[in-house]
Amino acid sequence: MANTQIFNLEGKVALITGASYGIGFAIAKGLAAAGATIVFNDIKQEFVDKGLANYAAEGIDAKGYVCDVTNEDAVNELVAKIEKEVGVIDILVNNAGIIKRIPMIEMKAEEFRQVIDVDLNAPFIVSKAVLPSMIKQRSGKIINICSMMSEFGRETVSAYASAKGGLKMLTRNIASEYGQYNIQCNGIGPGYIATPQTAPLREPQADGSKHPFDSFITDTKTPAGRWGNPEDLAGPAVFLASTASDFVNGQILYVDGGIQAYFGKQPS
């Protein structure tokens, strides 16, 4: 019989950034089902309140806080408050992120910096804040939400791809520096997931036909033949948050329906 206890997260405190909805919310639900206590943040109180309502509807007693994860002082205050009110953070999921789909020559440097700030600087800031307690207790799990754009380039996402490529390397560097303290830092690289962020790529055309990019993903590029669901990321997150992955460090687990293994469908 398989030892499912290696996936048990009872007694663990998990902070998932930006987890009021979408991928972060789905991951948090998975961690909660495995027994973890859920803590999340968002940038505005209204988003936190909506998140708390979403968790309550799922029967999850989550704790929500307002915090801008690009603000180092605010993050340090948040982590100190969580440690005081809930407990030391055992699991960190750096999920908060943004994307701006703008051709590179049309993108302002300020817009580029904003994406880098949220998608790369913030995971550095939050990881830096939780690491001292993880080092002290000689255990911890950090999961960075990377992307297929950690590996690939594509039109209009120069800032996003730059940030996610950097996040892949930050993941490996945290593993390299702090693995000696029994801290594992890994990434999850979602494929194309059906979330509000990707909704514009799935909107039907005026004539009712599929969006060209929607067709490209489901009919040509993905062996699974579909978009991923946020819930598809819950199992991988539980694995990377549990003792089952204690000797897995500095890796990116791509949850993409097989896109990276596939050259693409041959034209008929």
Catalogue the active-site residues.
Answer: 160
Output 41-48 pairs: Cβ under 8 A, ≥24 positions apart: 41/15, 41/17, 41/65, 41/66, 41/67, 41/69, 41/78, 41/96, 42/18, 42/66, 42/67, 43/18, 43/67, 43/68, 43/69, 47/20, 48/20
Could you tell me if 35 and 11 are in contact, meaning their C-beta atoms sit under 8 angstroms apart?
yes
Q: What angle do CA 203, 44, 149 make, to 5 degrees?
A: 45
Q: Are strands 252-255 and 183-190 parallel, antiparallel or unpaired?
A: parallel
Could you tell me if 240 and 188 are in contact, meaning their C-beta atoms sit under 8 angstroms apart?
yes
The H or E element spanning position 171 is: helix 158-178
Closest-CA residue to 99 (of 198, 229, 220): 198
| Alpha carbon distance, N-terminus to C-terminus of the chain | 47
The H or E element spanning position 130 is: helix 122-137
